[in-house]
Amino acid sequence: MGLKRVSESNFTRDLEIPGVGVYIHIPFCKSRCIYCDFVSYTENDFDQYTNYLLEEIQMYDKWLSQGISTLYIGGGTPSIFPKEKFASIVEGVLKHANNLQEFTIEVNPDSFNVELAEFYKSLGVNRLSMGLQGADDDVLKKSGRLYDYETFIRKYDMARRYFDIVNVDFIVGLPGESWKTIQKDVEFVSHFMPEHVSIYMIEVHDESEAKDFLKKPDEQTFLRYDEFLKSMRGLGYERYEISNFALNNKYCKHNLKYWFNDDYIGLGASAGGHIGPLRYNNYGELYDYYLAISEGKFPRLYEATNSAEREALETLFMGLRTKWGVSVEDIKRKTGIDVSDVIDILKSRFNFFDGRKLNEEGMDFSNLFFVTLLSVWEEYFDEE
């Protein structure tokens, strides 16, 4: 069973497939890239992490036993994880999978090889995600990546021989970037035409350790970003989410669960989940993660049972990131909350919002739109 399609006149989108999504975080890297805000450690603790992760998987048995439709293993750098440990984790989860539609793993070019490709293929991986970030050696070096562009090309070619869908990540705004390096990014896409491409604008937070090495995006950065996006459209890519582009409907089915506010289970340090009205995030510190599990507790730093209003807001917020947008009727059916007044106000304020979805201009100005959405929401719903 694949993605179900409904008519454009009713509310077009590729609907979720039955079953829960599962995300597993592997928080280990050979080294940290200067732009990375994800939880990761260069001190590898593979054995202990595997043991506690397997215990956490057992804690979710009653939810996992209802069936898994998507599995995504990210990091960190999953491709440095020992094969035997990796296999035991996958087997612990996939014993519940009777309708698995998509199995994605993130790999770094410096740690990916033929042996791993064959191993992942044998486990059922059918989608690979590779972080190129930039197609220029100077950009890669200044960003702390452990490979050059030529190495990436070799590893990408290898991945294509084993996997039908390969995603490539780019980040705009890295050190050393210029109009020339952006053109190299576009040339990579035009030459190799990956089925899926993710393009992110760099985020630099004031409290980040890397703030002294990175600079916040300026006008030239945004202009280069816009040029990259225009080139993607010219190459025939569909912008189905603010930062994600696909050819021939090769959407990331796991990420659709996030954007449609469906159920997914997050496993591992710093992973987050959404099960019914429950939303949670695990501890990022390994000590805290291990301690909670050793005491028989879910290793959650944060958990909350969403009110109906909160579920409606999250559904609205996430759905408007996509090309399909949202349906007032769907949100009311799902949560019991009528959001039509909020929708009408937003429609009156932004000509790039038609009451259901943002157009291309709206996606470009999504930050302003979502800030306004939150402000309008607070006028109508008081959750205190």
Residue spans per domain, the chain: 17-257, 309-384
Question: CA-CA-CA-CA torsion for 325, 355, 219, 149, nearest 10 degrees?
Answer: 10
pLDDT category of residue 13 using cuts at 50, 70 and 90: very low
**What does the pLDDT look like over 165-211, one tens digit per residue?**
999 999 999 999 999 999 999 999 999 999 999 999 987 655 545 54
**244-268: per-residue pLDDT in tens?**
999 999 999 999 999 999 999 999 9
What's the chain's average pLDDT? Answer: 89
pLDDT number for residue 36: 55
**Beta-strand runs (E) in 13-123:** 14-15, 20-26, 68-75, 102-107
- Given a cut of 70, whether residue 5 has pLDDT beyond it is no
Q: How far apart (Å, rounded) are the C-alpha atoms in residues 102 and 167?
A: 13
Q: Higher confidence at residue 255 or residue 36?
A: 255
How many Å apart are CA 146 and CA 218, to the nearest integer?
A: 27
* Beta-sheet pairing, 102-107 with 68-75: parallel
- Assign 33 a pLDDT band (cuts: 50, 70, 90): low
Which single residue is written with the structure tokens 């225009």? 230
DSSP-derived 3-state class of residue 134: coil
CA angle 172, 370, 168 (to 5 degrees): 30
User: How many CB atoms neighbour CB 39 within 10 A?
Assistant: 19
Tokens encoding 149: 């562009």
Per the CB < 8 A criterion, the answer to whether 149 and 136 are in contact is yes
Please, which residues bridge with residue 20 across strands? 68
Q: Between these two residues, 5 and 371, which has the higher pLDDT value?
A: 371
Q: What CATH class has 17-257? A: alpha beta
Greater confidence (288 vs 3) lies with 288
Say which range, 47-51, 120-124, 146-150, 266-270, has the weakest mean pLDDT: 146-150
Structure tokens at 340: 């039509």
Q: Could you tell me if 278 and 294 are in contact, meaning their C-beta atoms sit under 8 angstroms apart?
A: no
Selection from 76, 73, 60 nearest residue 103 by Cα: 73
Residue 285: Cβ-neighbour burial (10 angstroms; 0-12, 13-18, 19+): middle
pLDDT surpassing 50 at residue 2: no
Local structure of residue 76 (DSSP, 8 states): S
Tokens representing 341 are 């007044």
Q: Which residue type occupies 376?
A: V
Token pair for 154? 């070799």
> What is the spatial distance between Cα 41 and Cα 81, in angstroms, rounded to a whole number?
12
Q: What would the pLDDT profile of 307-365 be if each residue is shown by its tens digit?
A: 999 999 999 999 999 999 999 999 999 999 999 999 999 999 999 999 999 999 999 99
Residues 6+ apart with CB under 8 A from 250: 165, 195, 196
Q: What is the per-residue pLDDT for 3? A: 40
DSSP character at residue 80:
G
The Cα–Cα gap between 44 and 311 comes to 37
